[in-house]
Amino acid sequence: MTAVLATENLTKVYSGEVPVTAVQDVTITVRSGELVALTGPSGSGKTTLLGLLGLLDTPTAGQVRVLGEPAAGLSDRQRTALRARLLGFVFQQFHLLPHLDALGNVEAALRYRGLRADQRRRLAMTALDRVGLVHRFDHQPARLSGGEQQRVAIARALVTSPALILADEPTGNLDTENSQRLLALLDQVASDGAAVVVVTHDEEVAARSHRRIVMRDGAVV
């Protein structure tokens, strides 16, 4: 299987009076079709690592490659373009646009793809359907529950069919039924060929993953 994501000796040091090494010497590979759980105690560096993998943050040392393309040396604009082309990101704080309804938020991920408005709409409705939210398509985030907002964020991450999906605690706001549904969906997305990395404290999510990466004190153990 193709390596969708590969890191080499990835390190992140937060500078300050007392510098914090949040990620230390992490070398991992995630392949197409894999659903990987990233676990470890609070403060072990999971969110920092996810930010580096998602090209949201730059490492102090080491390298990230997405589908073989090295992220180092790219300009901010090139990095944003690479992210838009290859990555879907589900943030812990969903980062939905408050003035757009659910459909608009999902469609926003399809901007600049050269699609017609009706094509964008159809894809966005299909993604909302996959997370069980078609009936809320015209609701703005303020009129959605926390779990529904989370599902909109997931639909937005999936709508572009990205090669790599990164999710930070995606079941954090979901009840058991919706957690199960999301897990089945992530499993499906991985079987369709994506690489999926999920930061989780949820034992059920970790148990359903194909592989675990466990962190302690910034390093993979």
Residues that bind ligand ATP (CB under 6 A): 14, 20, 22, 40, 42-48
Instruction: Provide the minimum distance between the beta carbon of 51 and ligand ATP in the complex, in angstroms, as a whole number.
Output: 8
Nearer to ligand ATP, 48 or 160 (CB): 48
Helix (H) or strand (E) holding 123: helix 117-130
Contact 87, 80 (CB under 8 A): no
Nearer to ligand ATP, 100 or 219 (CB): 219
Nearer to ligand ATP, 14 or 138 (CB): 14
Bridge partners (DSSP) of residue 69 are 66
Instruction: Provide the minimum distance between the beta carbon of 220 and ligand ATP in the complex, in angstroms, as a whole number.
Output: 12
Identity (one letter) of the amino acid at 94? Answer: F
SS3 for 204? helix
Nearer to ligand ATP, 45 or 159 (CB): 45
Instruction: Provide the minimum distance between the beta carbon of 166 and ligand ATP in the complex, in angstroms, as a whole number.
Output: 13
Nearer to ligand ATP, 15 or 75 (CB): 15
Q: Compute, in degrees rounded to 10, the torsion defined by CA atoms 153, 154, 157, 163.
A: 160
Residue 100: CA atoms inside 13 Å, Cβ hemisphere, count?
15
Instruction: Provide the minimum distance between the beta carbon of 59 and ligand ATP in the complex, in angstroms, as a whole number.
Output: 13
Of 55, 30, 50, nearest to 39 by C-alpha is 50
Instruction: Provide the minimum distance between the beta carbon of 210 and ligand ATP in the complex, in angstroms, as a whole number.
Output: 21
How far, in Å, CA of 205 to CA of 42, rounded?
17
